[in-house]
Structure 1
């Protein structure tokens, strides 16, 4: 009996141990802490390095990175490199929304670029998993890197002779490199994205000198995947321009009427939420105006970077027999009861004719915005190509919708008084990559001929003779 009792006890203990180990095994296999996926190492496609700045790699793992080492070998001797954390934006070759990932900036090795043409980077990564007896999953990655110290070839082919403060200009240039990565144009404060032009290696772009930028210094930047950068100045004759300044006295009837009605129409806040009449006006003139400008700029900058073979644009004339009610660039100072309370810049041209006058599209284009937009009321934005858009605001109604292709001469809507408007009129504007520009230029066929048409023709002639 005693032997049988001991035998039964051993079986029970054995069964408990089996259940314990099976449960423990199932726990380990199902637990995230014991995941078995190796860390992932990523870098740019066909990586290259000029050995002047940092080289970036991206590491990702389900449980996170515990340790990493980066090295290279020369003459069978391993040399370790410092790897420091960098902003995820530096690893532009990966999805910025990925979790558990880190971007590393690898310091340049202490070697001469004359000595080598390529470098094999050795990346060793361990994750935080408790797999492999708590030592984690490991990845060993060899990354062959081309050593490239040659800068991209960059040269201006043709450009507009002058640019006026608040206005526009055109540039066509050549940029070539086997590993060309990014091209951008700067006016000193804002950036513009060029588009491929005519033949391989050539690019074209309109650019603007926004009215509120005090200076203008145009340069083209071309960089390759190795980090080499070429810079070319665009020699525009820059002309400063003074714009009209107006002081406007605010009345209680204006704030209680049009401004308050617009607050209620927008519907974000109640009139009771404002402390006084000035705060009501500032909300519309500053907060809603800023929202409207950003909304329209977003619509006008979301355009395809397609190849431009040619570009034909006609002088804009959206309203027949119209009188100018307010000009572009007017700097407005608002005064209430003798005190300055707010400012604004009128960045369009106000035109008035008969009530609900038909609005004409002077150029073919695509409707990219058809919406009620804050102070602009019912608004249309048409995209005409080469980063150029036109805006039509305060409409009673539009006759087109987003995505519609509009032909030259088509009626697209009717004037009105929606938004921040005191009477039936059209607020018309022209935008270059989202920046509102001096409209008079784009309503002048001679200006268009000298600054757009002839520049393109000259560039094509130069390119064809090369």
Structure 2
């Protein structure tokens, strides 16, 4: 009988008590999950913290920031004690097993200056470990308080630029790891080092598109790793330029000879094999395919080298006549009726059939492809985002990656793509915007707008 009573007492009292003590003295630390937006703290920064304790529940979350001898509490969150009876149900202490903490870190409110600091998180639970102080988990994260924008000094002086033209700005950044460039309206042109020995002297070729004229906002923009942004204006003069309109009559014979060359896949089913279908197909190609082809031509410029590979004026096709100008506003007509409008973003040059095409200047071939309406094409990078492209070619003698010198024969003219006759479509782009090639054929323009700025900076700061 005594054994039975002892067994009942052991099972009913001793084991639950031991189980209770075991759980009250549980030794698992709380878990901390911290997500920092970046290493750098700015005036607007939010700390996202997730804490949990599956044992006796959360007791306290303490978050501090320390810089030198200065220490400030950011969070001191205490959870009320609700007893241990709930442990029988798997819940005890505070009863709070997990919590999310989001706080803004506005360093200026804590009287701390720019420089390194430490964020410390300490989380405790309701375990009886550590003389009832609980299990404690803590982590430290080194951060950098940075609230000052980078310093920018514009070194080049006069900046004259025409609608559809190119400009060069040279400036100095007095901070490392800064993304910078020229903001032109809603378009950004990245800056590159490499033109000068000093790595903090940046050069940017920027453009005004044919749609941007006087009144366009232009300034240097620099952003550091902390997200601080500096904007620095500089003197510039924008010259207005008018572009002509041109009418292109699309004949049925042109449609019949050219449209079969374009394979649109399943889209071809939409266009019936009739004059109306061929016309609809031309309009679709002239609008939709043109847009995709232009994007393809401009995209490779992102591979540009930060080396000035070219020298002096660019070459045009020898012995050629100009058949279409840059930014011509083209009106397409069929049987006297207007069917479409597009802008011609290059210069058409005509010589003899299958004329040899020289590289307009030294550079690296970054594209060789058959590009829709442009037909067989070659793209050459000349450095710092400046690129030349050659379209409607009949044959090509270079491959991607080749280095070419000014005057090297790279191809022959042709009538591939949406060309009505043998000619060269020549274009110049800056980063991802087409510009007027006529400027780059003019040595005086290059001397006054490019070389003079480079020489002035080199005289003051060295090579």
- For 2:175, the equivalent position in structure 1 comes to 177
For residue 430 of structure 1, the aligned residue among 423, 428, 431 is 428
Report the Cα offset of residue 170 of structure 1: 0.5
- For 1:352, the equivalent position in structure 2 comes to 350
Give the Cα separation in 2 of the matches to 1:360 and 1:352: 14
- For 2:206, the equivalent position in structure 1 comes to 207
Alignment of 1:63-462 (within 5 A): 71-73=63-65, 77-79=73-75, 107-109=104-106, 111-112=108-109, 114-117=111-114, 118-122=116-120, 141-159=139-157, 161-177=159-175, 180-196=177-193, 197-198=195-196, 199-214=198-213, 215-258=215-258, 260-264=259-263, 267=265, 269-270=267-268, 272-273=270-271, 276-304=277-305, 306=306, 308=307, 312-337=310-335, 339-462=337-460
CA contact (8 A) 2:72 2:110 kept: no
Give the CA RMSD over aligned residues.
3.2
Report the Cα offset of residue 239 of structure 1: 0.9
Give the Cα separation in 2 of the matches to 1:332 and 1:346: 7
CA contact (8 A) 1:417 1:425 kept: yes
Over 3 Å counting, the alpha-carbon distance change for 1:56 and 1:381 in structure 2 is farther
Q: List alignment gaps of at least 5 residues for structure 2.
A: 1-30, 51-57, 78-100, 124-135
Alignment of 1:9-88 (within 5 A): 41=35, 44=38, 47-51=39-43, 53-54=44-45, 71-73=63-65, 77-79=73-75
Over 3 Å counting, the alpha-carbon distance change for 1:113 and 1:202 in structure 2 is farther
CA contact (8 A) 1:113 1:147 kept: no
Q: Tell me the matched-pair count.
A: 378
What whole-Å deviation, never above 9, does each CA across 1:218-263 have from its counterpart, x for those lacking one?
Answer: 11111222332211113221012110112334333333332x1232
Give the Cα separation in 1 of the matches to 2:48 and 2:367: 39
Q: Secondary structure at the match of 1:212?
A: coil
Over 3 Å counting, the alpha-carbon distance change for 1:114 and 1:123 in structure 2 is closer
- For 1:21, the equivalent position in structure 2 comes to none
| Segment drifting more, 278-287 vs 423-432 | 278-287
Over 3 Å counting, the alpha-carbon distance change for 1:464 and 1:76 in structure 2 is closer
Over 3 Å counting, the alpha-carbon distance change for 1:251 and 1:220 in structure 2 is same
CA contact (8 A) 2:262 2:372 kept: no
Report the Cα offset of residue 116 of structure 1: 4.9
CA contact (8 A) 1:159 1:169 kept: no
CA contact (8 A) 2:37 2:46 kept: no
CA contact (8 A) 1:49 1:225 kept: no
Q: Secondary structure at the match of 1:325?
A: strand
Greater C-alpha radius of gyration = 2
Give the Cα separation in 2 of the matches to 1:57 and 1:406: 53
Over 3 Å counting, the alpha-carbon distance change for 1:106 and 1:327 in structure 2 is farther
Report the Cα offset of residue 213 of structure 1: 2.9
Report the Cα offset of residue 111 of structure 1: 4.9
Give the Cα separation in 1 of the matches to 2:384 and 2:423: 28
CA contact (8 A) 2:376 2:417 kept: yes
Q: Secondary structure at the match of 2:407?
A: coil
Give the Cα separation in 2 of the matches to 1:105 and 1:429: 53
Give the Cα separation in 1 of the matches to 2:158 and 2:446: 10
Q: Secondary structure at the match of 1:424?
A: coil
Report the Cα offset of residue 370 of structure 1: 0.5
CA contact (8 A) 1:120 1:144 kept: yes
Over 3 Å counting, the alpha-carbon distance change for 1:167 and 1:110 in structure 2 is closer
CA contact (8 A) 1:40 1:139 kept: no
CA contact (8 A) 2:356 2:409 kept: yes
Over 3 Å counting, the alpha-carbon distance change for 1:70 and 1:371 in structure 2 is farther
Over 3 Å counting, the alpha-carbon distance change for 1:348 and 1:123 in structure 2 is farther
Give the Cα separation in 2 of the matches to 1:272 and 1:148: 58
Report the Cα offset of residue 451 of structure 1: 0.8
**TM-score normalised to structure 1 length:** 0.73
Q: Secondary structure at the match of 1:296?
A: helix
What whole-Å deviation, never above 9, does each CA across 1:328-347 have from its counterpart, x for those lacking one?
Answer: 11011223455433211111
Report the Cα offset of residue 177 of structure 1: 1.9
CA contact (8 A) 2:35 2:47 kept: no
Q: List alignment gaps of at least 5 residues for structure 1.
A: 1-36, 60-66, 82-103, 126-137
What whole-Å deviation, never above 9, does each CA across 1:69-118 have from its counterpart, x for those lacking one?
Answer: 9943575744279xxxxxxxxxxxxxxxxxxxxxx996333753644555
Q: Secondary structure at the match of 2:451?
A: helix
Q: Secondary structure at the match of 2:417?
A: coil
CA contact (8 A) 1:181 1:225 kept: yes
